[in-house]
Amino acid sequence: MAKFNKIDTIGIIRSTGIVPVFYNKDVEITKKVVKACYEGGIRAFEFTNRGDGANKVFEELIAFVRKECPEMALGAGTILDAPTAALYLQMGADFLVSPCMVEEVVRLANRRGIPYSPGCGTVTEITHAQELGCDLVKVFPAGTVGGPAFVKNVLAPLPWAMIMCTGAVEPTQENLSAWAKSGVTAVGMGSKLFPKEVIAAGDWKAISTLCAQSLAWFKK
């Protein structure tokens, strides 16, 4: 069973503000990346279901997180159908994320009391997701649909909306400050937070440092 309930998980995401998005077929590398993020202050992490055997990596990863990163909410991303969602929920996923709206996943997640963030790109899609019970909505691809200005404009008529943006988010002061000022609840950040050369070198300290600095920029 998931360790966090719906309110706790969203609270963790809101208080942290940055959700790393990552996939690697090597479970040991993945563990080291998650641990490095945790040591850098990250408390919510999205492991994406993008490769063959991703679920097997997640199964080992969540056992590791429960032991080594006890305050971490670990979610599963790129969830495109209910059977896959059910598999990850059975393994203990604390939240689910999709690049689009999958209504069968909404029903499953609501039944289990687990947060589900579907990908949305318009005000109509955001409000539809809210009507279905999705508290935290993912805007994706955030840079393509308008960036921070899009979020600011959406929140004008929908000030209660909780939005997590993924896409075009970078670990720089200028970029993160712009997203924070837009009123976004959180941002998801992928490859820019995990440069290939850093992963190849096994420089986990560099990832921790970049996470800590990014959190400081976002919260400032």
- Cβ partners under 8 Å of residue 87, min gap 6: 55
* Residue 219, domain member (yes or no): no
Candidates 38, 73, 18; CA nearest to 190 is 18
* Residue 56, domain member (yes or no): yes
Active-site entry in 6, 31, 35, 138: 138
* pTM given for the model: 0.95
* Residue 198, domain member (yes or no): yes
- Residue 200 is predicted with a pLDDT of 96
CATH of the domain at 132: 3.20.20.70
In the residue annotation, 197 being an active-site residue is answered as: no
Question: For every residue of 62-101, which 3-state class applies, written as one string?
Answer: HHHHHHHCCCCEEEEECCCCHHHHHHHHHHCCCEEECCCC
- Cβ partners under 8 Å of residue 185, min gap 6: 13, 14, 17, 136, 162, 163, 164
CB 172 within 8 A of CB 217: yes
* Residue 27, domain member (yes or no): yes
- Residue 2 is predicted with a pLDDT of 47
- Residue 220 is predicted with a pLDDT of 84
In the residue annotation, 60 being an active-site residue is answered as: no
- Residue 172 is predicted with a pLDDT of 97
- Regions of the chain where pLDDT drops below 70: 1-7
State the total domains in the chain: 1
> What is the Cβ-side half-sphere exposure of residue 57, based on CA atoms within 13 angstroms?
24
Write out the residue range of the structural domain in which residue 129 sits: 6-213
Active-site entry in 31, 35, 46, 174: 46
- Residue 1 is predicted with a pLDDT of 45
* Residue 175, domain member (yes or no): yes
Cα pseudo-dihedral 6, 134, 57, 65, rounded to 10: -30
- Residue 24 is predicted with a pLDDT of 96
* Residue 1, domain member (yes or no): no
